[in-house]
Amino acid sequence: MRTIVLTTGGTIEKVYSEQEGSVVNAAQKIGRYLKQLRLPDRDVEVIPVSNKDSLEMTAEDRAELARKIAEIVGRCDGCPIVITHGTDTMTETGRYLQRAFPQPGVPIILTGAMRPLGFEGSDGLQNLTESLLAARLLAPGVYIVFHGQVFAADRTRKDREAGTFVAAEPD
């Protein structure tokens, strides 16, 4: 079975830039880390869509993401989709995708990290691994999977103090 991973950037994929003295979205990382996982019956296809901090995502970036999803659903029947994304606007994109795909036919899972993949204390590989498993277990819908939790995309928010996602009422 195949799972599609769409990458959009965010902290999970940030790297340290010596020139800028800060972490930036500059290189693709997800494929490299997925190769570390043992997934004997899974074929994971990684498709980069964008690579930016989610606070800089535009309406056009989200429309492009939706176009990619529609294309995948058309060519890969029943393939679940995992999207790596910045945490600051993950719920915004989740709600957008819920409106774009009210009956998606497959699970569409958004995930990310509070610390970049490869950095000490990173939660990136944990969230990626949990998302891949959730993608094969969940009913069709749009979800956020983070720190061992699963939320419908419109029933969660980022809690900055706690450094994670928590349950929330839909707007």
Q: Which CB sits closer to ligand ASP, 110 or 114?
A: 114
| Nearest residue (CB) to ligand ASP, 3 versus 54 | 54
Q: Which residue has the tokens 């995948």?
A: 72
Distances (CA, A) of 33 to 63, 103, 118, 124, 129: 27, 31, 9, 9, 10
CB of 165 to ligand ASP, least distance (A): 11
CB nearer to ligand ASP: give 34 or 117.
117
d(CA 162, CA 19): 31
- Positions 3 through 32 that interact with ligand ASP (CB under 6 A): 10-11
CA atoms within 13 A on the CB side of 109: 28
**CB neighbours of 115 closer than 8 A, spacing ≥ 6?**
11, 121, 122, 123, 124
What is the CB neighbour count within 10 angstroms for residue 72?
Answer: 20
Q: Which two tokens stand for residue 140?
A: 């069709």
Please identify which residue in 80, 86, 107, 124 interacts with ligand ASP, judged by CB under 6 A: 86
**Of 65-73, 84-92, 96-104, 160-168, which segment contacts ligand ASP by CB under 6 A?**
84-92
Here's the x/- map for ligand ASP, 103-142, by CB under 6 A: it reads as ---------x-x----------------------------
Q: Which spans of this chain sit near ligand ASP (rule: CB under 6 A)? A: 10-11, 53-55, 86-89, 112, 114
